């Protein structure tokens, strides 16, 4: 299979409404990344449900878009000063190192699973993300604590990197709520997770390119609106209460999980 010819063929075979819906999911996913947290899984869901891409192509096409979103978010948190704090930098570096190891493992697992199995994995991932978002919203940390030791961050980072490599997402949607659970403050969790996202997305892209599993036309169709959504979501988060958006995303993800499990 050659990426260029196959990618063009898949894109040409999709109707205009489907292409528009994929672009819209990219935009909404980008908004979700910065406004409420775990929005980056929406483009993956769209690529799986609306195209005939293989599991590797779904994950590879989706994960490449998170290089730019992760870089943009990292730049924002560097400018805000959160990534200049020594403990946050330490956590970010540990997460980045685990991503180098864990992401290729996730890519390898993805390339040997069937579409039905991928649908089940994606459904579990989506339900887990919804559950973590609900927990984070209902159990806000009462006090700021010190960052946990490396012995706690390393297994967390590895698990997130493997899962992200399988599904094709950047990582913050899992790592942020998990870091908060182990005591990292919210903004510092967001900052450290964005650094990990860049490494996961880059390592994942390289891995899926080796398997000729990146559809560049669809990656651009989803990724450009997603990047615009990141900026829009940041503005929304500054200007509007996002509690209703969070619960809306929780309900949406929980409703989509059974469909994804059966779609394969």
- pLDDT tens digit sequence for 175-184: 888 887 787 8
Does residue 141 register a pLDDT over 60? Answer: no
For range 187-198, the mean pLDDT: 87
Query: Looking at residues 114-142, what average pLDDT do you find?
Result: 83
**Measured in Å, how far apart are the chain's first and last C-alpha atoms?**
21
Q: Write out the chain in H/E/C secondary structure.
A: CCHHHHHHHHHHCCCHHHHHHHHHHHHHHHHHHHHCCCCCHHHHHHHHHHCCCCHHHHHHHHHHHHHHHHHHHHHHHHHHCHHHCHHHHHHHHHHHHHHHHHHHHHHHHHCCCCHHHHHHHHHHHHHHHHHHHHHHHHCCCCCCCCCCCHHHHHHHHHHHHHHHHHHCCCCHHHHHHHHHHCCCCHHHHHHHHHHHHHHHHHHHHHHHHHCCCCCHHHHHHHHHHHHHHHHHHHHHHHHCCCHHHHHHHHHHHHHHHHHHHHHC
Q: Is 161:171 a contact under the CB 8 Å cutoff? A: yes
Q: Give the confidence band of 263 by pLDDT, cuts at 50, 70, 90.
A: confident
State pTM to two decimals: 0.85
pLDDT digits 0-9 by tens, 78-108: 887 878 888 999 999 999 999 999 999 999 9
pLDDT band at 1 (very low <50, low <70, confident <90, very high): very low
Six-digit token pair at 235?
């503005």
* Model confidence at 185: pLDDT above 90: no
- Would you say residue 163 has pLDDT above 60? yes
Residue 73 clears pLDDT 50, i.e. is over it: yes
**Residue with more model confidence, 36 or 178:** 178
How high is the mean pLDDT of the chain?
A: 85
> Given this model, what pLDDT does residue 231 score?
82
Gap between the Cα atoms of 121 and 261, Å rounded: 8
pLDDT higher than 80, residue 4: no
């Amino acid at each position: 299979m050659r990426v260029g010819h196959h990618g063009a063929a898949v894109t040409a075979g999709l109707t205009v409404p489907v292409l528009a819906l994929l672009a819209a999911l990219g935009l909404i996913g980008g908004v979700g990344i910065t406004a409420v947290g775990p929005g980056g899984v929406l483009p993956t869901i769209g690529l799986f449900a609306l195209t005939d891409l293989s599991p590797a192509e779904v994950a590879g096409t989706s994960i490449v878009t998170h290089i730019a979103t992760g870089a943009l978010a990292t730049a924002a948190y560097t400018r805000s000063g959160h990534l200049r704090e020594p403990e946050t930098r330490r956590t970010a570096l540990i997460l980045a190192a685990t991503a180098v190891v864990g992401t290729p493992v996730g890519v390898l697992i993805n390339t040997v699973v069937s579409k039905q199995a991928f649908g089940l994995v994606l459904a579990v991932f989506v339900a887990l993300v919804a559950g973590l978002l609900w927990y984070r919203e209902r159990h806000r940390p009462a006090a700021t604590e010190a960052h946990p030791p490396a012995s706690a961050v390393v297994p967390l980072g590895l698990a997130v990197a493997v899962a992200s490599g399988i599904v094709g997402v950047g990582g913050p949607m899992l790592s942020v709520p998990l870091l908060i659970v182990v005591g990292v403050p919210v903004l510092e969790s967001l900052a450290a997770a964005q650094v990990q996202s860049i490494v996961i997305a880059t390592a994942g892209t390289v891995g899926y390119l080796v398997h000729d599993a990146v559809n560049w036309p669809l990656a651009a169709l989803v990724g450009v609106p997603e990047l615009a959504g990141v900026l829009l979501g940041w503005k929304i988060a500054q200007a509007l209460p996002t509690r209703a958006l969070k619960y809306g995303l929780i309900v949406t993800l929980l409703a989509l999980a059974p469909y994804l499990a059966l779609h394969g």
